[in-house]
Structure 1
Amino acid sequence: MYPSPQDLQDLIDHTSPIDNRPVVMCEYAHSMGNSTGNMKKYWDVIYKNDRALGGYIWDWIDQGIVKTDENGVEFLAYGGDFGDKPNSGSFCINGVIASDRTPKPAMYECKKVNQPVEISEINAQKGEFKILNRHHAINLSKYELSWNITENGVVIKQGTIDQLTTAPFKTSALKISYKKPKLKAASAYYFNIEGKLKSNELWAKKGYIVFNEQFKLNYTVKEATTVKSASALNIIDKENVITVENKNVKLQIDKGSGYITSYISKGTSLIASPLKLNFWRAETENDEAYRKATKKQNELDWMHAGDQFKAEQVAVVKNENGKAIIDVLGTIEKPKTEVNLQYTILGNGQVKVSYTAKINDRAPNVPRIGMQFDIPNTFQNVTYLGKGPQPNYADRNYGAHVGLYSGNVNSMNYQYVYPEEYGNRTEISWFKLENPKGKSVLVSGEDKLNFSVIPYSTQNLQEAKHTNELVNRDVFTVNIDLNQTGVGGDDTWSPGAEPHDEYLIKPGTYQYQFYLLPSDLKTTIKNPKSIKF
């Protein structure tokens, strides 16, 4: 029960010389809370070995019961909420679908790794692929293949293939002819393929997507040109604060914390709390489990590390030609970390944040590397270019494809019964938060980011045990991350709950850069990746 992917492979290897019986995992992939990482790794082993038949995810559906608190607020209850002793707490909340049959984000990962057809790339730029039929008894004639090419998430070419005849357990060549798109600077291109039902089935309607694949088209495109601003900036350097301002922008940096504490663009305040360092995520149930099992409670030192950052030097290093640069050097005492933050402000109100953190070798592993701020909750409309549409993490993003997605902060994420970290997206080029008046702030990464926008504070998620304990505020919390550790989930009670080694964030030096780009109805930014300074 509950082997790791490597344990499964080792079992097959060690017994193969004398045993050819099938191998089935009677329980695996413990899907408790924000979990079910490593599914692709498991199925890479299963597909590789004829003896491996698969396994039984624990489990299919949550067994939560609706309960109403003293304030009339409904929530899903679990073990211990009915005066029952002894109990197993939230160990009845570990399905890939919720008690009300809502699919959790993990469901989409499971669907992808188990899809009955696999398409692999020979040369996507030439439209050359291979298609493998994993069905046991039917060919692929029941599917229609549709394809498209996207430019920065927008479809620019598309087509269909009606005739698929690949026999069971056979591989066929797949050729899709198309003309190379006209390439634009600082743009990304992807080739997407979907297999859809041609007719209704007992279990799904015509047009249902049974399998899909995505391939990055690695064209050589021109880089973004450097942006300049002719609007001069006025800098007021006082004892405790540096103010950078003109008619477009007013930005303040606290000299004690080293953080941007106010950012106003054309009269609209874009942050409701300081833009601060953040190394913590509200613990998942897997996090709690492995820290207890491995005695890694020192990782809790990261919880308030961003608040303990001390700026030792804050200095204006440049102010000319519509560009100001402020440099911040400082330290976190525990866990010992040296940090350099550099803010570049243009006269048009755009800001670049450059981040370097040197984490001491003796420090514990880090839940996330990033920055966090609050924004007024009127900025509830979200658009992003990255992996989605469902939330995804480093070890659970195989079933998420790069695309242009939009949603509302209050409804775009699945909320777990046991409050914990949730709502992350990976491989983000940029994301935008917009209010009903068309005012927005767009965050664009120099390289790929992780991001999330959550109605609740990280501390509230950390402390709450049920959803009725979560407190709605007049702000949302925004996380702009270089990286976040995986969710793990081989089990939820032993060292096996910890994310696999390649999905951990270990002590070292981490650097990233991102841009804060205000806009409104008059200043729409067509391609955020074209902005660089």
Structure 2
Amino acid sequence: MPSYFEDLTPGTGLRRPRAAFTSDAGRLSLTGTWLFRLSATAEGAPLDFLGPEPPPGGFTELPVPSHWVLHGHGVPRYTNTAYPFPIDPPHVPDDNPTGDHRLAFDLPAGWRTADSVLRFEGVDSCFRVWLNGQCLGTAKGSRLPAEFDAGPALRPGPNVLAVRVHRWSSGSYLEDQDMWWLPGIFREVALLERPVGGVDDFFVHAGYDHVTGRGTLTVDTGAPALISVPELGIEDLPAGREATGLAVEPWTAETPRLYDGHLTTHGERVPLRLGFRTVAITGGLLTVNGTPLLLRGVNRHEHDPDHGRALSVATMRADLLLMKRHNVNAVRTAHYPPHPAFLDLCDELGMWVVDECDIETHGFIHADWRGNPADDPRWEPMLLDRMRRMVERDKNHPSVVVWSLGNESHHGRNFGVLADWTRSRDPGRPLHYERDRSYRHSDFYSLMYTPVDEVERIGRREEAVPPETADDPELEARRRALPFLLCEYAHAMGNGPGSLAAYQRVFERYPRCQGGFVWEWIDHGFRRRTADGREYFGYGGDFGDHPHGGTFCIDGLVFPDRTPSPGLAELKKVFQPVTVELAGARLRVANRHAFRDLSHLRFTWTLEDDGRRVAAGELPVPRVPAGQAAELPVPRLPAAAGEGWLTVRAELAGDEPWAAAGHEVAWAQFAVSAPAARPVGPGRAARRRGDVIALGAGLFDARTGVLGRLGPLALDGPRLDIWRAPTDNDRGMGANSVAREWHRAGLDRMEHRTVSVAPREDRLVVEARVAAAGTERALRVRYTWTAAGPDLRLEVHVVPEGPWDDLPLPRLGVRLTLPADCDAVRWFGRGPGEAYPDSREAARVGLFATTVAGLQTPYVVPQENGHRAEVRWAELGGPRHRLRIEGAPHFGLTARRWTTGDLAAARHPTDLVERDRVYVNLDLAHHGLGSASCGPGPLPEHRLIPTETAFALLFRALP
């Protein structure tokens, strides 16, 4: 007979699942410092810590909530799809680390012990609990609450709670969720007083009729109870009786109106926070209060760089504030129910939530899905238990609008059981499950990482018939009528993701495409330090864990410490709920909110001339209703002497719960005048003087034609450069790796051969060939230098040679080095942050300044970063000299204190050692970023295919 941690029962001694709530009954928090001991195996762990006597040696202190592997007891382990143990369901290895937890506590005087409940919010992965030596039961389901009847075992005064936690269990087969495996009691533990005649459970039904504009309220509960909502004039409404015709403001994620009330029995008073809304799929669209939704969403794992999944409420709030400030309106709780406080915050601040069950069996893909619990009736009780516990816990949250049956568990009969039970228990919310491509149990057609062109075909309902429904016309007709969601897209791993704007354009064009959820919110890195104290973030394999998923856990829009990445800035711009377009002499302001008008926003404009503000004002935008637009005249603008840019901003007019007045919600920018053409003076003659060639203020190596000095400034270059340190998306997944193609073609080891150096009367012409050893593929390049006054002008002409076929270049430009003291950087172009061809919406044209260090984006995994796009001019310098570079008309700028090779070789930012030079790239173009780390590569228009090309730059040394 299998042990309890290997059997197929959800647990023993468990109370029925119920809603999470607080009340005026007693609650004793048992969080704090516990005693802890780790044993290597379950069988070898002695049961000598249950009684009142002090435990034997071997115990140390451990905070609860926590994960013991983050406190020096073993190591965290990260895998993406592979189980970190043999696929042998439901069995686990003999080496099963087992953590014994012990807490002595005093029961408060007057505590009503009868019917008391011991509640665990989350324990990973299986545990057994004793109170005063009496076994209360066992439980599995790591991200779900477990409650036990504690009254019979409680004593007045001193009590001893003992909990044995196993790292691996049969439940672990359902928790292969692309995350760190982190055992322990990681959510709160509490003892709950249960008064006689108290509230055991309740179900709030707060609906809204968008036709009548009225609300309805029913609260179902097993105990006789009365409901009061003073603001609505409801006093002592009996439970189970419906109140109709309520004059309510509906709850939405944009306007999260909550009404305070309470549920009262003769023994207990429970506070209620009511949001009136009705969810339905109508006409093939997901609607709330009769209005179709467009989900601008993210997938969110729970993660903290120091505490793992033991998150504080302050951290949860910080997540939601960042999301709201970046125009995110939806969260998929990947891949398990979150801490219940997170949903309280979603109700309060406003967020559409897809609440996902604690089920993923992805590791069975490595066994061709043989033995998958999703299709094995023996596993039905465990799977159904998890669905019940999620739905019952979270059913009263207005923010939860969709239930997800789980993630990436293939398909099988048990999902039908989950779907049938959920629809019966809660018919007011639709169901989502993506991996069964028949969608017989889902109310959505849903995919992951679908290319933009395919999403567009889906929007037109012209997608191909999937094999799963090809032989069932009725099932296919149902699938084709479903609303479409991308439950995961735009893999935010490292530098990227690309193509966010392209996806959003399709979502907004086709009503069937109701948005999606970017993967994912946060990098799952753990804070570490080098021997000399420098901080970095560790990932899979950094802890000696094996097997491991390497860097694949570093795939978020925010860094592990919740610093926003450039990808999040891009997402904010793409998701902005207001757009402004310029058409002739009029501005068209469109409201992309689903429910809210624009009266909460203040619109301002600024005019900049060559990056310097010359005029500003306020735009009198009317109260544009949701989904509508208004036109107004362009403000009267003074003439700009140079390049003029009009920027329109939409800012919060007053404080919101998630941001202060003045917070920028949206912006748009328009060119209103072009710079005057720069006159080109007569060229000077190039003269050879021994080993150098002089041209204007420049001195060139007579053998290679490379510029070595410009006036007082010593430099080296520029020379053609096509290599960049591969991004995570360049490296791709599996066969989808452009970086592998680049390395195979030798693009990381191109060699330069000077063909000729020809001084002429009005120019210097240098011919060269750039190629990799062992290949015939090459680039012919001609550098033509001319001089006028203090300026040196370079024209670069590039011709591909050999079988390039469809192989893109990483970048195309030139590279030079400058002295180490050239640290200050100013530029006129796009900024202030980095930008790439398919991730540039967040970069606006302006005048910016920083340092070379400030140009860097410190991705957890070093890679190409820091590129400033469409630069008109840039100045790099120090106390003694500066170099000015001008484009004809634009170039891309990157400057670092390490080489591209250094960057490519580094595993963590602390591996990068500053050299005594500044390495500068001036690019004509870059290959796009795409999302190929777990999705499609760049769109065709963002692939940098070699072709005959010319570009020009102007250099000037400044005092």
Q: TM-score, normalised by structure 1?
A: 0.87
Give the structure 2 partner of residue 3 of structure 1.
450
SS at match of 1:462: helix
- Separation in structure 1 between the aligned mates of residue 492 and residue 792 of structure 2, nearest angstrom: 40
- Partner amino acid for 1:11? I
Could you list the per-position Cα deviations for residues 68-125 of structure 1 after superposition, in whole angstroms to 9, with x for gaps in the alignment? Answer: 23343321110000000111111111111111111111111100111111111211xx
Q: How do 1:4-403 and structure 2 match up within 5 A? A: 4-14=451-461, 19-123=480-584, 126=585, 128-181=586-639, 183-184=640-641, 187-218=642-673, 222-227=676-681, 235-238=687-690, 241-244=691-694, 249-255=697-703, 257-260=704-707, 262-265=708-711, 267-269=712-714, 271=715, 273-289=716-732, 292-293=735-736, 297-300=740-743, 301-305=746-750, 308-318=751-761, 324-334=762-772, 335-346=777-788, 348-360=789-801, 362-363=803-804, 364-403=807-846
Aligned residues: 490
CA distance in 1, matches of 2:857, 2:507: 29
Assess if the C-alpha contact under 8 Å between 2:695 and 2:786 holds in 1.
no
Name the amino acid aligned to 1:91: F
Instruction: Give the Å deviation of 1:137.
Output: 2.0
Q: 1:78 to 1:208 in 2, by over 3 A?
A: same
Tell me the distance in 2 between the aligned counterparts of 1:470 and 1:382: 21
Looking at structure 2, the residues matched to 371 and 326 of structure 1 have their Cα atoms a distance apart, in angstroms, of 17
Paired residues for 1:420-431 under 5 Å: 420-431=863-874
Give secondary structure in 1 for the equivalent of 2:547: coil
Distance in 2 between residues matched to 1:333 and 1:138, nearest whole Å: 58
Q: How much has 1:298 moved relative to structure 2?
A: 4.3
Contact 1:144–1:164 at 8 Å: present in 2 too? no
User: Do the aligned partners of 2:827 and 2:871 also contact (CA within 8 Å) in 1?
Assistant: yes
Deviation at 1:237, TM superposition (A): 4.2
Identity %: 25
- Which letter does structure 1 place at the counterpart of 2:792? V
The letter for the 1-side match of 2:700 is Q
Cα contact 1:486–1:499 (8 A) shared by 2: yes
**Contact 1:258-1:310 at 8 Å conserved across structures:** no
Aligned positions of 1:503-522 closer than 5 A: 503-520=942-959
Give, in whole Å, the separation in 1 of the partners of 2:802 and 2:942.
Answer: 18
Contact 1:390 1:413 in 2 (8 A): no
What is the CA-CA distance between 1:11 and the residue it aligns to? Answer: 2.2
Q: 1:294 Cα shift?
A: 5.4
Q: Once the 2 structures are TM-superposed, how far is the Cα of residue 413 of structure 1 from its aligned partner?
A: 2.8
Contact 1:361 1:508 in 2 (8 A): no
Q: 1:46 to 1:433 in 2, by over 3 A?
A: same
SS in 1 for 2:461: helix
Alignment partners' CA distance in 1, 2:457 and 2:944:
26
* Cα deviation, residue 225, structure 1: 2.1
Distance 1:356 1:78 in 2: 43
CA contact (8 A) 1:278 1:372 kept: yes
Superposed CA deviations along residues 259-287 of structure 1, whole A, max 9, x for unmatched, are 22x1142x342x1x332210100111111
Contact in 1 for aligned 2:698/2:792 (Cα 8 Å): no
Max radius of gyration: which structure? 2
State whether residues 421 and 461 of structure 1, in contact with CA within 8 Å, keep that contact through their aligned partners in structure 2. yes
1:293 is matched by which residue type in structure 2?
N
CA separation of 1:105 and 1:173: change in aligned 2, threshold 3 A: same
- Judge conservation of contact 2:607–2:637 (CA < 8 Å) in 1: no
Q: Cα distance, 1:250 vs. partner?
A: 4.9
| Deviation at residue 486 of structure 1 after TM alignment | 1.0
Structure 1: stretches of 5+ with no match in the other structure:
319-323, 521-533
Structure 2 equivalent of residue 480 of structure 1: 922
How far the C-alpha of 1:157 sits from its partner, in A, is: 1.9
- The 1:299–1:407 alpha-carbon spacing in structure 2 relative to 1, beyond 3 Å, is same
- 2:892·2:922 contact (CA, 8 Å) conserved in 1? yes
What's the CA shift for 1:361?
Answer: 5.6
Q: Secondary structure at the match of 1:109?
A: helix
Distance 1:234 1:447, change over 3 A: closer
Q: What's the CA shift string for 1:238-260, capped at 9, x where partnerless?
A: 3xx333178xx3512242x3322
Where 1:517 maps in the other structure, the secondary structure is strand
CA gap of 1:235–1:154, structure 2 versus 1, over 3 A, is same
Partner of 1:411: 854
Shift of residue 234, structure 1, vs aligned partner: 7.7
Distance 1:453 1:177, change over 3 A: same
| Residue equivalent to 2:21 | none
User: Who is 1:529 aligned against?
Assistant: none
Deviations 1:441-500 (A, max 9, x none): 1110112111111122100011111112111112221000111111111x4146x2x322
Q: 1:226 to 1:258 in 2, by over 3 A?
A: closer
Q: Secondary structure at the match of 1:202?
A: coil
Q: What CA RMSD, in Å, does the superposition of the two structures yield over aligned residues? A: 2.2
Cα 1:425–1:222 shift into 2, 3 Å? closer
Give the superposition deviation at 1:161.
Answer: 2.4
Q: Which shows bigger deviation, 461-470 or 359-368?
A: 359-368
Q: Secondary structure at the match of 1:358?
A: strand
Q: What is the distance in 1 between the residues matched to 2:725 and 2:734? A: 13
Instruction: Describe the SS at the equivalent of 2:854.
Output: coil
CA drift of 1:165 comes to 0.9
Contact 1:143–1:164 (8 Å) recurs in 2: no
Cα distance in 1 for residues equivalent to 2:461 and 2:621: 43
Structure 1 residues 245 and 398 mapped into 2: Cα distance closer, same or farther (>3 Å)? Answer: closer
Evaluate the alpha carbon distance shift between residue 71 and residue 478 of structure 1 in structure 2; reply closer, same or farther with a 3 A threshold: same
Distance in 1 (CA, whole Å) between partners of 2:660 and 2:624 is 22
Larger RCO (CA within 8 A; separation ≥ 6): 1
Distance in 2, matches of 1:171 and 1:381, equals: 44
